[in-house]
Amino acid sequence: MRLGIRVLFGFFLITGLAAFFVLRVFMAEVKPSVREVMEDMMVDTANILAELASDDLATGHMATGRFAEHVRSYARRPIDVQIWGLAKQSLDFRVYVTDIRGTVLFDSGNVATGQDYSRWRDVARTLRGEYGARATREVQHDDRSSVMYVAAPITQGGKTIGVLTVAKPVATIQAFIDRAERKIFLSGVLLLVLSLAIGVAVTLWVVWSILQAAPLCPGRRARRPAGCAANTGRAG
């Protein structure tokens, strides 16, 4: 039975290691993949809102114009929906607008109006004509407190006159990340169990086949069957 144990161990070791590394890769890719999709959608949102905000910014009515009014109304809208089985009961976008100097003229979160945001990566890069985005932790060393910021230039007559940034906490999509990781983990455990079952079956079949194929050679006192070589201790 030692042969069977060795075969089973080898089979399970190879399959188990393969399943472990595949599972590890999938688990490691879930969070960045979800964030990449989230950032892609935020780019579209920021550019649409930048177009809608351009008239109010150009006329100097950024904080009191219709754009600001609509954004505030958005933040007050009640919502209770199910997204693939997960509840969403809040609207989480924060929107702020800066002028060409980086001064915040409007902030839907009412926390940064009047402040200088010219050094923040999202604003600074956008004002330079580059893609502006950043992820900032609200609580140091706590990745779950990260907030993603994606900016777009506000233009008028082909000239940049300001920056609009859309912000969204990563925690709002954490439930989707947790569910995906849980499903991958359970699938990996199931794969290992199935691998073990298949390994046992293959091992039993291999051992049985070897025992059936090998001739039975009893000790010296028993009659030696055909196919068993005699051990006489003499040459020739």
Residue 213 has pLDDT above 60, yes or no: yes
* Per-residue pLDDT band at 14 (split at 50, 70, 90): confident
* Per-residue pLDDT band at 235 (split at 50, 70, 90): very low
Instruction: Report pLDDT for 223.
Output: 52
pLDDT tens across 123-148, in order? 999 999 999 999 998 777 777 788 99
Residue 171 has pLDDT above 50, yes or no: yes
Cα distances (angstroms) measured from residue 25 to each of 21, 95, 182, 187, 203: 6, 35, 14, 14, 29
Mean pLDDT of the 16-45 span: 81
Mean pLDDT of the 203-230 span: 61
Topology at the third CATH level for domain 45-173 = Beta-Lactamase (3.30.450)
Amino acid at 223: R
Instruction: Report pLDDT for 147.
Output: 93
Domain ranges for the chain: 45-173
CA dihedral 136, 138, 144, 148 (to 10 degrees): -30
Tell me the whole-structure pTM to 2 decimals.
0.71
pLDDT tens across 68-124, in order? 999 999 989 998 888 888 888 888 999 999 999 999 999 999 999 999 999 999 999
Instruction: Report pLDDT for 66.
Output: 95
- Rounded Cα–Cα distance for residues 156 and 171 (Å): 35
- Residues 76, 134, 102, CA angle at the centre, nearest 5°? 75
* Per-residue pLDDT band at 154 (split at 50, 70, 90): very high
Mean pLDDT of the 8-28 span: 72
Query: Cβ neighbours of residue 194 under 8 Å, at least 6 residues apart?
Result: none
